[in-house]
Structure 1
Amino acid sequence: MEVVTTIRHEVLTLPAAHLGPDNPLPALRPLDETHRIEDRDKEDLPRDMARQIGHAPLHSLLPVPVRDGYDRRRAPRAVDALVIENDRLRATVLPALGGRVVSLVHRPTGRELLYRNPVFQPANFALNGAWFSGGIEWNIGATGHTTLSCSPVHAARVPAPGGGEMLRLWEWERLRDLPFQVDLWLPDGSDFLYAGVRIRNPHEMPVPTYWWSNIAVPEECRVLAPAEEAWHFGYERRLRRVPVPEYDGVDRTCPPHSTYAADYFYDVPDGRRRWIAALDHEGHGLVQTSTDALRGRKLFVWGRGPGGRSWQRWLTEPGTGGYCEIQAGLARTQLEHVRLEAESEVSWLEAYGPFTTRPEGEWNGVLKEAENRLEAVLPRAGVDSAYAAWRPYADTEPGERLAAGSGWGALEVLRAGWKLPGTPFEESTLGEEQAPWLHLLRAGSLPEPPGTRPPGGTLVARHWRDMLETAPATPLTEYHLGVAQWHAGDRAQAERSWERALRNTSSWWPALRCLAVADQEARHPERAADRYARAFDDLCRAPCDEEGAGTAVTAALGREAIEALLAVGRTADARSVWRRLDPATRARGRFRLTEAALLLAEGRREEARAVFDAGFEVADLREGDEVIGRLWSALTDEPLPERHDFRMRPTP
């Protein structure tokens, strides 16, 4: 007997690290994204690909804050989940963590179709830091993992095509200022989870757009996709065309065969059905297919090298098996952004479900057999029909609210008066973060924060910058105006605004820190170091009175100050900053690494080596960052210990 599709709340308890506070300092430095290529490589690319790689890549994280307050101390924690289920599939969604589908179980066989991470462990892989592995994640914004990876999204019940209910997820993506939605539903008796996705551009100008659906699957598999060539991207930042399945004498469609982390963007021919599957040695696994708007397909592998193994252990639980990712996106590669015209939208339908076919054999024969099998269990015309049936429901207003996201969408809708059927951003979602900007919108001025709290985040879009320019020129307004001008590329005006912010204020450190970053970017390291030292002194004279924020801002500013002072050889001043950090801050892995660098700069090599020997974990180590290896090499000629080896490319 078929079971009617249901949506219900559930609470998961799993070992989870604490996310901690966001970094309170504005992200002024250029975006450090590993997926970049040299200009010379673009000459050999197809013209449309080269154009889209060069189309408005993101250079700044503003207005989004960096999320680096998490740790690696895991303890049992409750996580709210939403479960959508019929008699064939059960999908578990985490609305507080980007709407991630963390589990997809085929009920008749009891088989988990995804890689389900047994822990929640943030790591520095998202554009703004905190990200976690496993399940199906919805990546919108710009090249890289979305800034919403560990943030809440709105969720509600919505009528589904053909009866029953859908689970609607929606939010406001702040890097590109775009609203989006993901509608999840299980037709009664269906073996496939459908996902209707829509991105809207309400602006009066075109906006660069990015989307990739990332699906984590067990690493011991073979990946099938309808292509004979792929674009290979490694962490040497080179993009080149390679044959599929075999490249350099190795079958790269089997993730364990690779040594280093790499992306393979499959070059699916025009007109061919869009799909990708990951199968175990018996031919069982998961298939993802979509309407043709979702053009790209990709395999990401960690590789069997020491760096890849270290990251697998870091992100999951040792002994539980590794994972790889199969992915689907709007463009052929993740280095590209597509143009979304003014006051328009793009939408498509995806389907995820169990799949069985022959995984081994001659490549074209395997693909033909797989495509015939896919057509039998889920016809291409059926996917197109499901998409057509869903489109009228995309504008349906949500019913019962199941989870709440941020208030940023509500603020933008209030400002512009946009009508966005199906994705209401209601005033009731406005919170403390939006309060000063709501005051600016309605009263034309920014209120001063109470006590000695940090100035908070800055909105940097042109309309907010215009409002800041016409608001009363208080030190706080000048500070925020400088951040917005910096984001717009007007660095001279930004510096003038920050210099004005230093007048008639009792708290100098926010503007001094911004001017220090400006000095670094302009290659004036001595002046930057001096301003950092003054900023830290000022912060310590009037510490923040907001619970938790004081430690976060002292740690963030202290770390930057020490690095700037060490860069110009001012080791005594760097040590002075170090001593004034909270003992709990100094005990964190990132600061243990900083301590080793400080000791080395002071000529205390044995003590610096002892920091390594005692062991530490840099919780926010960035993907592709080789800082640990560089410091180790400065200390010794010995091989880098395995526990510190996170290199994702061959050693130069």
Structure 2
Amino acid sequence: MTIPTLRREPLHLPAAHLGEESLLPVPDGLLEAPFELGDDLPVELQEGAQIGPPRSVHPYLLQDGYDRNRHPAELDSLVLDNGILQARFLPGMGGRLWSLVDLATGRDLVYANSCVQPANLALRNAWVAGGVEWNLGTKGHSVHTMAPLHAARVEGPDGAPRLRMWELDRIRRVVFQIDAWLPAGGRGLHVYVRIENPNDEAVPMYWWSNAAVEQRPDLRVLAPTRRAYATGYDGTVGEVPVPVAEHGDHTWPAASPRAADYFYALHGQQQPWVAGVDGTGHGLVIASTARLHGRKLFCWGNGPGGRHWQQWLSPDGGEYVELQAGLTSTQFEHVMMPGGASWDWVEVYADVAADPDLAHSQDWDVAVAHVADQVAALAPPERLTETLSAARALADQAPEQLLAAGSGWGALEREVRRQTGERWIDESSRPFPASTLGSEQHPWHRLLTEPGTDPFADADPALPPSSYVCGPPWVELLHQVPPGWLRDYHLGVLAHARGDLQTARDHLHTSRGHRRTAWAARAEARVAAEQGEPALAVDLLTEAVRLAPTQPHLLLEAMSAALAADRPELALELFDAAPVASRRTGRVRLLEGTAALRTGDRARAEAVLASDLVIPDLREGERSLSDLWHDVFGAEPVPARYDFRMA
């Protein structure tokens, strides 16, 4: 029997450069729009949907600096291998499981994208299709999905090395941990997940593991249920039967006429699972202990928009669907996690190795019963319970070797909690080394550890601040610093992030009194817009553009505000006065075309659309390109390159 190993190995792929983070904070939303839940849905689902998501992703900054130019790249990867399976993880991309290969056949159980092409599907914008990603904290593709995690090697009691990854979630102020291993002789990848809430108060919690698998005409998705909650891109959710609903048998995703989510009702089962089985009987199954009871199928559908999205996310070829597992029945819910609580579970990713005739039986009950037997053989429920207990006992074991570094925010969080007396985790198993404190944390660390000093005294007002914080301790610490443009700016952003608009307005106005900066003008404009003063927001953003003319994000926001205030002429003036580099970006060109059409300059709008406009960060569900086309050309068919419509 092969002894399992864990090694570092470079992964060579064409990749688009992620680019720099936007340094403009977003304390006032950008989270996904809520769906309309029907009154006929279960009470627990309705109640879970009322548990509020955070106001915004603040203090995280947007990752929107990428393009669609891919070049040869070397990515750091960590590989588990037991001679049967090989699991490759990317610690620099949220700890994503990139591939899970059956070494005997060379078959990948997950869809491994042939390139790294970010697109705008995550809470912070950038997201990549493929593999298995880990989503924590709030609805949507996680703030960590394109950010580095800490990683280390831990020696398992059976001699099988474990890959441990962990990080602080700054929105919920919780720590999550992922331990992955391939048992000797085992046919499945085991993943132990632990979330620890060190806060005294309960926090809303969310977790979904999202696995991409290759979409094939003969792929069938099965789960042990007769009911699902289905969504579409019309903003509604309703209960549908499984396997056949209004649009036919939706367990064959390649035949779906539209993009859709199917959340399978599995609550109360000892061993929840979902599987994708192709015509050979092989495919991925995700089984788990009972806490992770949610299961979902997502497919892009075979409409023009869905096919375009597949090409957009996998430009070098390949199509996929997603099999997902979560803490709740649907992704519209959060569940309250008590203060001081620690939640954990085990997930198993394996080849279902089913009889294709039985798994594809027209009798749904026969198909499900057969696959359930295969799952039980792969991961017997009683053995999974034992695995969870053993993984829990190992969860606090100190790592042998650090393999990758995440952010420095966990180290700063530890120092904050030492100052305030707040509870913190035992770091022996998940260390946040002081060496990870970097330039983003430096002024905040000084503010915390050097009372009486002003870490903002030498800040250059021509440059945007590099990082942000959130929470009451920082408000108190900032009030101990002498008044100044940056201190008051940060107080304003903090107030805006917690929804205290008038306090935010006062601080930002004071900041601008100390020194007129583009950053405070822009921040006050966002507050004014939220308070229903669009004209003032336009004036403030125009000032911000004048103060920092080379910042393309400010141009975007100013033009958008001008259009929202029905001032398309001003939007064009801003565009025409901007540097050439700012005018070249796809989204700015889109606004140019929109503004031109509204001023009656149809020829200019046509010229924009004729330029093969590319918007690298087009948002999932966004119809701005096709809408502008219809506004300019009426009933003329939308070209495929502009058609991202999901409904």
Same fold (TM over 0.5): yes
Q: Distance in 2 between matches of 1:248 and 1:30?
A: 35
**What is the deviation of 1:359?**
2.2
Q: 1:374 to 1:473 in 2, by over 3 A?
A: same
2:71 maps to what in 1?
75
**What is the deviation of 1:450?**
4.1
% identical equivalent positions: 41
**What is the deviation of 1:571?**
4.1
1:545 maps to what in 2?
none
SS at 1:236's partner residue? coil
Q: Distance in 2 between matches of 1:573 and 1:592?
A: 15
1:92-135: CA deviation from partner (whole Å, max 9, x where unpaired): 11110000011000112221111110010001101110000000
Matches for 1:55-70 after TM superposition, within 5 Å: 55-70=51-66
Aligned letter for 2:243? P
2:539 maps to what in 1?
530
Matches for 1:429-444 after TM superposition, within 5 Å: 429-444=436-451
1:372 maps to what in 2?
373
**What is the deviation of 1:577?**
2.4
2:399 maps to what in 1?
398
Deviates more, 1:508-517 or 1:110-119: 508-517
Q: Are 2:129 and 1:133 equivalent residues in the alignment?
A: yes
Whether the 8 Å contact between 1:446 and 1:476 is mirrored in structure 2 is no
Aligned letter for 2:360? E
1:146 maps to what in 2?
142
SS at 1:44's partner residue? coil
SS at 2:225's partner residue? coil
Q: Distance in 2 between matches of 1:634 and 1:572?
A: 18
SS at 1:356's partner residue? coil
Q: Distance in 1 between matches of 2:547 and 2:35?
A: 41
Q: Are 2:171 and 1:175 equivalent residues in the alignment?
A: yes
2:432 maps to what in 1?
425
Q: 1:224 to 1:424 in 2, by over 3 A?
A: same
Whether the 8 Å contact between 1:161 and 1:390 is mirrored in structure 2 is no
Q: Distance in 2 between matches of 1:409 and 1:616?
A: 41
**What is the deviation of 1:28?**
3.1
1:580-612: CA deviation from partner (whole Å, max 9, x where unpaired): 433233222222212212322332212211221
1:15 maps to what in 2?
14
Q: Are 2:609 and 1:612 equivalent residues in the alignment?
A: yes
Whether the 8 Å contact between 2:194 and 2:345 is mirrored in structure 1 is yes
2:198 maps to what in 1?
202
**What is the deviation of 1:393?**
0.6
Aligned letter for 1:443? E
Deviates more, 1:324-333 or 1:269-278: 269-278
**What is the deviation of 1:205?**
0.5
Q: 1:568 to 1:390 in 2, by over 3 A?
A: closer
Q: Distance in 2 between matches of 1:603 and 1:260?
A: 36
Matches for 1:147-546 after TM superposition, within 5 Å: 147-220=143-216, 221-318=219-316, 320-357=317-354, 358-361=358-361, 362-417=363-418, 418-420=424-426, 421-444=428-451, 445-448=454-457, 450-451=459-460, 452-505=462-515, 507-540=516-549
Q: Distance in 2 between matches of 1:568 and 1:389?
A: 60
Q: 1:562 to 1:10 in 2, by over 3 A?
A: same
Q: Distance in 1 between matches of 2:646 and 2:375?
A: 35
Aligned letter for 1:144? G
Aligned letter for 2:376? E
1:5 maps to what in 2?
4
1:289-348: CA deviation from partner (whole Å, max 9, x where unpaired): 011010100000100011111100000035x33100000000111111111110111000
TM-score, normalised via structure 2 length: 0.95
Aligned letter for 1:229? R
**What is the deviation of 1:535?**
1.6
1:630 maps to what in 2?
627
1:528-586: CA deviation from partner (whole Å, max 9, x where unpaired): 1111111211224xxxxxxxxxx5xx100011111222333444433342234332332
Q: Distance in 2 between matches of 1:58 and 1:28?
A: 10
SS at 1:614's partner residue? coil
Matches for 1:559-578 after TM superposition, within 5 Å: 559-578=556-575
SS at 1:324's partner residue? strand
Whether the 8 Å contact between 1:24 and 1:556 is mirrored in structure 2 is no
Q: Which runs of 5+ in 1 are unaligned?
A: 541-550
**What is the deviation of 1:449?**
5.3
Q: Distance in 1 between matches of 2:390 and 2:183?
A: 12
Whether the 8 Å contact between 2:6 and 2:81 is mirrored in structure 1 is yes
Deviates more, 1:212-221 or 1:438-447: 438-447
TM-score, normalised via structure 1 length: 0.94
Whether the 8 Å contact between 1:159 and 1:393 is mirrored in structure 2 is no
SS at 1:584's partner residue? helix
**What is the deviation of 1:180?**
0.5
Aligned Cα RMSD in Å?
1.5
**What is the deviation of 1:32?**
3.7
1:548 maps to what in 2?
none
SS at 2:373's partner residue? helix
**What is the deviation of 1:177?**
1.6
Q: Distance in 2 between matches of 1:303 and 1:419?
A: 44
SS at 1:152's partner residue? coil
**What is the deviation of 1:523?**
2.0
Whether the 8 Å contact between 2:270 and 2:289 is mirrored in structure 1 is no
Q: 1:249 to 1:623 in 2, by over 3 A?
A: closer
**What is the deviation of 1:249?**
4.8
Q: Distance in 1 between matches of 2:406 and 2:555?
A: 32
Aligned letter for 2:474? W
Q: Distance in 2 between matches of 1:620 and 1:462?
A: 33
**What is the deviation of 1:509?**
1.4
Deviates more, 1:184-193 or 1:266-275: 266-275
Q: Which runs of 5+ in 2 are unaligned?
A: 419-423
SS at 1:61's partner residue? coil
Aligned letter for 2:637? P
Q: Distance in 1 between matches of 2:8 and 2:533?
A: 55
SS at 1:629's partner residue? helix
Q: Distance in 2 between matches of 1:381 and 1:363?
A: 26
Q: Distance in 2 between matches of 1:43 and 1:104?
A: 41
**What is the deviation of 1:178?**
1.2
